[in-house]
Amino acid sequence: MYPNVLRPTYPSIRSATAVFAAVTVLGACGTPSEERDTSAGAVIDNCGHEVEEGLAPERAVSLNQGTTEIMLSLGLADRMVGTATWTDPVMEGLEEEEERVPRLAENAPSFERVLEEEPDFVAASFESTLGTGGVAERDDFEDLGVPTYVSPSDCVKDNSGSGDGVREEPLGMGDIYGEVRELARVFGVEDRGEELVTDLKERVGEASRDVDASGTTVMYWFANSETPYMGGCCGAPGIITETVGAENVLDATTKEWPQVNWESVADHDPDVLVIGDLTRESQSAESAEEKISFLEDNPVTQHMRAVEEERYVVVSGAAMNPSIRTVEGIEQVAAALTDDAPGE
């Protein structure tokens, strides 16, 4: 039988735990020179700002879940003094590390709240977090001598308009691996970064090895029941779709998360709906339960094929954003499509 509702089973638990154990050993056995190699004096060009390699922060703050989980996966909890802006529970295998770092806010903290922690490095997953209307501008931190970093995967899209930006070029896992490596270089833990990248690559390879979803159409619903945010062509949903060999019905849309009306969703009538299960409370229909209930009660959507046959794949909201959790999304969507294709 086709697995109607695939809820997150997190096949990453073993891998995340193993990688963390490995990097913890590296941290325990390494010498200061291995941890903090500043001899090269190189800098990273990060979205138009220079970030020093080997900076080795001791009081880092991460303002988005994506950068937070990379840092925790690199074994850097003891060098962090705050996190913020969570859409989901932390990735399984990192719970104990996450508990060691104070949450400054569930959503965006104030500039003043971040400064209270006397940070020596501030990272974010999105330009909007360190831009106009966000926590503060990058220059606001840097004028105070606090280096900042933004996920490169967000800088390669056009964020100048309203909404969540436009991608003319598809994002790839290489962009995410590059972010892991860059943060590892900033903290002087390059070996840990390579360990993590190797693990992520192995998981993607294993998840995609036996799946062939050619001919299967999918649609990604992140949040909002009034005018839903659906995944466009070229962000994290694009990575997932390309890896499993399926087709996103919104592939012609270059917006990261276009808002479309429900009539348009019903007209596209995908074979499978990939549904974000968020725990935040900033939009309507955040949880998977709320989304599924809406789809089945709404007269516009209740007769879609995926709804009538309950062909839902539930993934974390974090997996739908470009991050190491995108690998989790690949695993979960691939698992749902491996054994049975819609209609069989």
Q: CA of 334: how far to CAs of 66, 212, 331, in Å?
A: 22, 9, 5
Least confident of 7-16, 131-140, 158-167, 185-194: 7-16
> Are 166 and 244 part of one and the same domain?
no
End residue of a domain, out of 202, 228, 244: 202
Are 191 and 265 members of one domain? no
Predicted pLDDT of residue 163? 77
3-state secondary structure the chain: CCCCEECCCCCHHHHHHHHHHHHHHHHHHCCHHHHCCCCCCCEEEECCEEEECCCCCCCEEECCHHHHHHHHHCCCHHHEEEEECCCCCCCCCCHHHHHCCCEEECCCCCHHHHHCCCCCEEEECCCCCCCCCCCCCHHHHHCCCCCEEECHHHHCCECCCCCCCECCCCCCHHHHHHHHHHHHHHHCCHHHHHHHHHHHHHHHHHHHCCCCCCCCEEEEEEECCCCCEECCCCCHHHHHHHHHCCEECCCCCCECCCECCHHHHHHHCCCEEEEEECCCCCCCCCCHHHHHHHHHHCCCCCCCHHHHCCCEEEEECHHHCCCCCHHHHHHHHHHHHHCCCCCC
Give residue 142's pLDDT band: very low, low, confident or very high (50, 70, 90): very high
The answer for residues whose C-beta is within 8 angstroms of residue 44's C-beta and 6 or more apart is: 50, 51, 52, 53, 149, 182, 185, 186
Band (pLDDT 50/70/90 cuts) for residue 27 is very low
What's the Cα-to-Cα distance from 18 to each of 73, 170, 247, rounded to whole Å? Answer: 10, 31, 33
Residue 37 has pLDDT above 90, yes or no: no
Tens of pLDDT, residue by residue over 45-56, are 999 999 999 999
Q: Do residues 87 and 171 both lie within one domain?
A: yes
> What's the CA gap between 83 and 322, in Å, rounded?
18
Average pLDDT estimate for 154-169:
88
The domain total for the chain is 2
10 within 8 A of 325, measured Cβ to Cβ: no
Residue range 46-72: mean pLDDT, rounded: 97
First to last CA, the chain: 9
Domain boundary among 202, 236, 267: 202
> Residue 144 sits in which domain range?
12-202
- Based on the fold, state whether residues 26 and 125 are members of the same structural domain: yes
Q: Do 46 and 179 share a domain, yes or no?
A: yes
Query: Residue 41 pLDDT > 80, yes or no?
Result: no
Task: Judge whether 344 lies within some domain.
Answer: no
Q: For residue 77, what pLDDT is reported?
A: 98
Q: Work out the percent of the chain whose per-residue pLDDT is above 70.
A: 86
Same domain for 158 and 22: yes
Q: Do 185 and 314 belong to one domain?
A: no
Regarding whether 115 and 17 lie in a shared domain, the answer is yes
Q: Which of 175, 202, 229 is the last residue of a domain?
A: 202
Encoded tokens for 184: 């590892």
Domain assignment present for 343: no
Question: Residue 270 — φ and ψ, nearest 5°?
Answer: -70, 160
The pLDDT of residue 339: 61
Within this chain, do residues 176 and 305 fall inside the same structural domain, yes or no?
no
Is the predicted pLDDT of residue 298 greater than 50, yes or no?
A: yes
Contacts of 128 (CB under 8 A, 6+ apart): 134, 159
Residues 215 and 197 in one domain: no
* Mean pLDDT taken over the chain: 89
The letter for the amino acid at 122 is V
Does 245 share its domain with 194?
no
User: Residue 162: what pLDDT?
Assistant: 73
Is 171 contained in some domain? yes
User: pLDDT at position 340, please?
Assistant: 56
Residue 282: its pLDDT value, please? 82
Its pTM stands at 0.87
Instruction: Indicate if the pLDDT at residue 28 is higher than 50.
Output: no
Q: What is the pLDDT of residues 207-261, one digit of tens each?
A: 999 898 999 999 999 999 999 999 999 999 999 999 999 999 999 999 999 999 9
pLDDT at 33: 28
Looking at the fold, whether 219 and 163 belong to one and the same domain comes out as: no
Q: Where residue 317 sits, what CATH number does that domain have? A: 3.40.50.1980
21 band by pLDDT with thresholds 50, 70 and 90: very low
What is the percent of the chain where pLDDT is above 90?
Answer: 82
